Structure 1
Amino acid sequence: MATQKLYAGTKLREVRGRIGLSQKAFAEKLGISLPYLNQMEHNHRPVSAAVVLRLAQEFGLDVTELTTGDSERLVSDMREALVDPVFGPGGAPQADLRLVASNAPGLARAFLNLHRAYRQASERLASLDEALGREDRSAAPSPWDEVRDFFHYCDNYIDAVDRSAERFAREAAGRDLVQAAVSVLEARGISVQVSEMPLVRAYDAATRRLTISARVPEATRRFQLLHQIALLTQDDLLEATLDLARFQTVEARGIAKIGLANYFAGAAQMPYAPFLIAAREERHDLERLADRFGASIEQVAHRLSTLQRPGSKGVPFFFVRVDQAGTITKRHSATRLQFARFGGACPLWNVHRAFETPGRFLRQLAQTPDGVRYLSLARDVTKPGGSFTAPVRRYAIGLGCEIAHASSLVYADDLDLTRRFEPIGISCRICERPDCHQRSVPPLERRLAVDPDRRGVLPYGIPD
């Protein structure tokens, strides 16, 4: 079988810029000519195995950086966008999309922003409320989507915030993390109390009092305390990170700041190096890790998906959370599986069945249309309100990895990895499977065959 050539010019330029070397100096370090380096950086030639080896030896580079990152996400997002009927039939060949993602990632993101603006404009025009005069807004992405995309394209790993949280946890070594956090706040003249209240967390800057709800679980109280620590002690770092992100609206920046504070809280509760070691020791047993770090199952699953530090990466996981309507409320993938930007997840995915079996882990061997196989875990997450009359929030979380990493997970121990894998997709609107019994809408990029005298599982056929 022919080996796929590695074109990684954009990543190569990023590595050189991060190290701070000129093209000439970089070429000398790699033992190659300047024209050869220039050709590789512009994707006119593939990155050779010898260059990959020199990158690892000379700079200690995690060479998976050259093959991971934005490219797969950009290809997936562009492919989904191009099946929109506005572009006409046919779409674009996969090879063309990969070429654009590798050579012109900025252009690819601009195209996605333009398509997103078009969709939002179309949705506003289709809304009766908007047509009757609701205040119009610009075609910019919604603040929520903008922030979600920020974390999505950062690989859900924010190095400076992660290392700062790890440093905070290291300085608290030998002490209970909650007590360490309370001590930091009290040193700043801030009192901390736990009491009955409808809010989960409330900070009054005037009285310098932080109140945490007594109704929420201990793991949530710890997380919210660390969240407030981030806002009060890491403000300069958070603001600098937000400056680099260049959000388009004040609302997006505000949502992102909350997200960064949440990131700090999770990283402080489960500091990178100790958590990575523990994950390997426990073979990614979510319940044992939750008990070991005083965290919730959801917090542990989310943290596992962030272990993408260059040179010290964990198993690449995807992580998703859905509500009972199937709407994706959290998503991240360090794998080749990319979630749909619009609509819900594939109905054949086990994450939807988790609501039927509360308190149990469901396992699924799944295969996407591109032939990639995964081990997928799913479990329901119930968040009670703390009283009989309070509403209960229910979600399901999904966590999974490509089957090549299954041996690192305790959940694969008694599974027959040679048996049939269940076919799943990304979303019905872009799924190529012609005979899926759970298809909700026709694929946008395929013509339909409608025969009133014949009826199968679907009321239409999808010819090859």
Structure 2
Amino acid sequence: MAIGKLFIGKSVRELRLSRKWNQSQFAERLGISTSYLNQIESNSRPVSATVLLALVDKFQLQVSEIAGGEGDRLLSALSEALKDPLFETLAPTVQDIKLVVQNAPGIAHALILAHQAYRRTTEQLAGIDQELAKGMSEPTPYEEVRDYFHFVDNYVHDLDVAAERLASTLGLQVDPFGAMKRELGKCGVSVLQAAHEGSLRSFDAKTSTLYLNRHSPAQTQLFQMAVQLAQVEFSGPIAEIVAGAGFRTAEAAEICKVGLQNYVAGALLMPYCQFADAAAALRHDVELLALEFNTSIEQVCHRLSTLQRPGRKGVPMFFARIDRAGNITKRHSATKLQFARFGAACPVWNVHQAFESPGKILRQMAETPDGGKYLSLALQVTKHSGGFHGQHIAYALAFGCEMSNAEAFVYADDLRDTARPVFEPIGISCRICERTRCPSRAWPPMKGRIGVDHHQRMTVPYEIS
């Protein structure tokens, strides 16, 4: 695979500092001059093939890890922000944006947060009473936590490894419910199944009793037991991670704790190496993986998106959960496909059609305006709580990969055999989509002039130049 010029000064500097070496010591181990190392770390020069091979050979770094990762996601988020007409007169080049991301990622994050505040303020002023808009210019605690997981690549190494180590001693594959119950018992927690209307899990701290809703699916009950175990046995590491994340509010810190507890639960039920091997062997058949690990399909899809362990990465995937209104309530992408941070998702994306075909996995070969080609899979699932009068919440899951990795998915077998595959044009969202003649466009793009022809009416009542 051809790789362009790599400016990885930040990664090289962090690697050197992690070993507490000065530039002279590190340069000697790489076989280069101190001045050349200084130029690499300041991003004045790219790394040569010789230096790159030395980094891979001597420090077991992978090119995919130092060439991509957070930088790609940060570059995508910053590029989207700078497409706002607010910056039209500045018009920074792609190279300008790359230099900011590579040399000053903190500034890039700050600019993204500032743009988010600007967008929220303008949208609030346009849509609701000014009095209701007070105090809404900052990201909500939920959005702050969502962005935290996005920029750590949806993978938390220390928790993942610790959960995998614990899972190896539990015997979950033989008797998952009994094994989880015994482990909680060792922690002084007893487990009872009861009819708790509207509650999946309820813990009585006075009696150290965990109550599970016996009307919930078995996979849900098992996952909630794993969450409780995470609260008991991983409270210390989780608290340290949250403290180091620097959240601005106590609410965000508490929401992140819940997210990390859920992360541990997923890692316990689907241990990293065992799950990654099964995913490869079963070619990412999410239904078979759910049966293999006694989990739900949503839990499987979410776990697939976390396979980002250095030196043991899975196939880069995207994953999202969308409600009937088009709101993206969960999202992560280890691919170049990035989800919209404002507005609804592209109406041409097959995830919206999933609501019309419950229980069926829909397939789509999609192409984004930048030429990226993807295998997109969508499935509607329903969460039940109780009987006839209980809640029935339907939502859609979207997951997939770049077409270059499609052979790892069972869903692509006959699609790849097509002589001339047809890719459907999709965008990120109408707000920033570059396609000028999309009949499904909901509103004009933020950039681009609108023209109206009073003598001709097309599907969309205006033209975009």
The residue aligned with 2:268 is: 268
Cα distance between partner residues in 2 of 1:451 and 1:430: 23
Residues 391-429 of structure 1: CA distance to partner in whole angstroms, max 9, x if unpaired?
A: 211110111111111111111111146412111110111
Cα distance between partner residues in 1 of 2:130 and 2:390: 34
1:448 to 2:450 alignment: yes
Query: Percent sequence identity over matched residues?
Result: 49
Alpha carbons of structure 1 residues 90 and 357: separation in structure 2 relative to 1, 3 Å: farther
Alpha carbons of structure 1 residues 20 and 397: separation in structure 2 relative to 1, 3 Å: farther
Q: Give me the TM-score of the superposition, normalised by structure 1.
A: 0.95
- The secondary structure found in structure 2 opposite 1:392 is strand
Q: Specify the code of the residue in structure 2 equivalent to 1:157.
A: Y
Cα distance between partner residues in 1 of 2:244 and 2:218: 34
Q: After superposition, where does 1:271-290 map in structure 2 within 5 Å?
A: 271-290=271-290
Asked if the contact 1:55–1:63 (Cα under 8 Å) also holds between the matched residues in 2, the reply is no
Q: Give me the TM-score of the superposition, normalised by structure 2.
A: 0.95
Cα distance between partner residues in 1 of 2:56 and 2:399: 30
Alpha carbons of structure 1 residues 247 and 369: separation in structure 2 relative to 1, 3 Å: same
1:106 to 2:113 alignment: no
Cα distance between partner residues in 2 of 1:183 and 1:92: 59
- The secondary structure found in structure 2 opposite 1:171 is coil
Cα distance between partner residues in 2 of 1:24 and 1:171: 45
The residue aligned with 2:385 is: 385
- The secondary structure found in structure 1 opposite 2:431 is helix
Structure 1, 180-189 or 100-109: larger mean CA deviation: 180-189
Asked if the contact 2:287–2:297 (Cα under 8 Å) also holds between the matched residues in 1, the reply is yes
The residue aligned with 2:87 is: 87
The residue aligned with 2:249 is: 249
Cα distance between partner residues in 2 of 1:380 and 1:128: 32
- Give unpaired runs (5+ residues) of structure 2: none
Structure 1, 232-241 or 75-84: larger mean CA deviation: 75-84
Q: After superposition, where does 1:114-153 map in structure 2 within 5 Å?
A: 114-126=114-126, 128-131=128-131, 136-137=134-135, 139-153=137-151
How far apart are 1:80 and its partner, in Å? 2.1
How far apart are 1:139 and its partner, in Å? 4.1
Q: After superposition, where does 1:80-229 map in structure 2 within 5 Å?
A: 80-88=80-88, 91-126=91-126, 128-131=128-131, 136-137=134-135, 139-173=137-171, 176-198=175-197, 199-229=199-229
The residue aligned with 1:398 is: 398
Cα distance between partner residues in 2 of 1:66 and 1:2: 15
The residue aligned with 1:425 is: 427
How far apart are 1:125 and its partner, in Å? 4.2
Asked if the contact 1:384–1:393 (Cα under 8 Å) also holds between the matched residues in 2, the reply is yes
Q: Specify the code of the residue in structure 1 equivalent to 2:421.
A: R
Q: Specify the code of the residue in structure 1 equivalent to 2:314.
A: G
Q: After superposition, where does 1:287-366 map in structure 2 within 5 Å?
A: 287-366=287-366
Residues 427-459 of structure 1: CA distance to partner in whole angstroms, max 9, x if unpaired?
A: 111010111111111111111222212222211
How far apart are 1:119 and its partner, in Å? 2.6
How far apart are 1:128 and its partner, in Å? 4.5
- The secondary structure found in structure 2 opposite 1:345 is coil
Structure 1, 42-51 or 3-12: larger mean CA deviation: 3-12
How far apart are 1:156 and its partner, in Å? 0.1
How far apart are 1:171 and its partner, in Å? 1.5
Cα distance between partner residues in 2 of 1:346 and 1:138: 26
- Provide the aligned length of Structure 1 versus Structure 2: 461
Structure 1, 31-40 or 236-245: larger mean CA deviation: 31-40
How far apart are 1:30 and its partner, in Å? 1.4
Q: Specify the code of the residue in structure 2 equivalent to 1:455.
A: R
How far apart are 1:141 and its partner, in Å? 1.6
Cα distance between partner residues in 2 of 1:18 and 1:288: 41
Asked if the contact 1:79–1:91 (Cα under 8 Å) also holds between the matched residues in 2, the reply is no
Alpha carbons of structure 1 residues 346 and 20: separation in structure 2 relative to 1, 3 Å: farther
- The secondary structure found in structure 2 opposite 1:92 is coil
Alpha carbons of structure 1 residues 457 and 316: separation in structure 2 relative to 1, 3 Å: same
Cα distance between partner residues in 2 of 1:312 and 1:171: 22
Q: Specify the code of the residue in structure 2 equivalent to 1:93.
A: T
Q: Specify the code of the residue in structure 2 equivalent to 1:230.
A: A
State the Cα RMSD in Å. Answer: 1.9
How far apart are 1:47 and its partner, in Å? 1.5
Cα distance between partner residues in 2 of 1:269 and 1:459: 52
How far apart are 1:297 and its partner, in Å? 0.8
Alpha carbons of structure 1 residues 75 and 273: separation in structure 2 relative to 1, 3 Å: same
Cα distance between partner residues in 1 of 2:389 and 2:21: 62
Residues 278-317 of structure 1: CA distance to partner in whole angstroms, max 9, x if unpaired?
A: 1111111111111111111111111011000001100000
Cα distance between partner residues in 1 of 2:358 and 2:133: 43
Moved over 6 A (4+): none
Cα distance between partner residues in 2 of 1:17 and 1:336: 29
Q: Specify the code of the residue in structure 2 equivalent to 1:193.
A: L
Structure 1, 258-267 or 81-90: larger mean CA deviation: 81-90
How far apart are 1:384 and its partner, in Å? 1.3
Q: Specify the code of the residue in structure 1 equivalent to 2:155.
A: Y
Q: After superposition, where does 1:58-97 map in structure 2 within 5 Å?
A: 58-88=58-88, 91-97=91-97
How far apart are 1:85 and its partner, in Å? 3.3
